[in-house]
Structure 1
């Protein structure tokens, strides 16, 4: 299905995007972070914080905006062309207007309480994804039991409790989906050893496993 192309501003030297390119290969554009309407660098846009875009015939305007953003943020910002059949203007993407100018300069910091909540949720997301990845590689019951013991010990130390079962359920549930969305939308960054691709794959695995469990 054909789709329209738009111009977006991206941060090519984003540390996590570079990490994912090095770890997984492929085109760097697969992991690129683009500027959203909140002034943050996001993998994709949401209804609350869509990606900022320019039409392809406004390349001069996009380049000028990139130059202003680069100067204000002290980091090189470039223009790239992208499109997606799922994008809808006003939802996943938003056309840049004069009212969007402040987000080129930076983003408003979260309140202390919100920043702490987002950090805790992102840390839990990564920890539970590590558990799911370890459980999925267990070759037999003995190996699974060892993973279960190690997971229980690690989760008790970090969160006061938890298990393989609770990790799968959390990732498949609303809390897990919202935590992943916060990372994808640039609200908070991952801080552990997993790449975003690895986290997304583990979350998807947990969701499929929970659906299978509920069906039996």
Structure 2
């Protein structure tokens, strides 16, 4: 019988926890996209070797709660303790057990260089804008409505980014830049700033990938005829 993964305690913002509960009501995993504190002081869905998620063992519940209170006081936002487990977690890789050396992470995030912060913000702005137009297009009920959405999307993307279309937005989302922008959000390097949730962003990219797969499948089928 396989062993159950170890439970750990993590910190997340109270509104992030509410987002996870909303996700569950819509049929998604309760904690799939909840963001927790990492060693860089940022809120991330995934831990990485460079920035693992901060954790406490379950027997350290009092210490975790005290850390949440210190973090909430420093940040001016409610911070709560969350219990999670993941079979893929390895201490020192995706997660890092809290020690006093990581106290600064409770108080705020490590500053990025101005150039890097600006570049990440630009790419995530594209991620959000492109997801928004792809979602709008996928909801079109007929060709006329799709054409109208396409024209409006083209104007909006031209005004904000100097050009673009639903097709190019979809291609960007499924390409390297789209995946890198998504990862920068999942790892907490940059926050979403638009109306779409993390789950909606991920769903839209999956939708674009599936559309691309079906298109390639159709093209391959045609070429064999």
TM-score range, shorter chain: 0.7 to 0.9
Q: Which runs of 4+ in 1 moved over 3 A?
A: 17-32
CA contact (8 A) 1:20 1:195 kept: no
CA contact (8 A) 1:11 1:32 kept: no
Between stretches 195-204 and 21-30, larger displacement belongs to: 21-30
Paired positions, count: 214
Paired with 1:210 and 1:92, the residues of 2 have a C-alpha distance of 31
Paired with 1:91 and 1:168, the residues of 2 have a C-alpha distance of 33
For residues 84-103 of structure 1, the aligned pairs below 5 Å read: 84-103=86-105
Between stretches 189-198 and 55-64, larger displacement belongs to: 55-64
Q: Within the alignment, does 1:158 sit opposite 2:179 as a pair? A: no
Q: 2:142 aligns with which of 140, 143, 168?
A: 140
**Mind listing any 5+ residue stretches in structure 2 that lack a counterpart?**
220-225
Matched residue of 1:182: which SS?
Answer: helix
TM-score normalized by structure 1? 0.87
Correspondence for 1:174: 176
**Mind listing any 5+ residue stretches in structure 1 that lack a counterpart?**
none
CA contact (8 A) 1:5 1:81 kept: yes
Between stretches 141-150 and 36-45, larger displacement belongs to: 141-150
Between stretches 119-128 and 188-197, larger displacement belongs to: 188-197
TM-score normalized by structure 2? 0.84
Higher Rg: 2
**Structure 1 residue 153 displacement after superposition:** 1.2
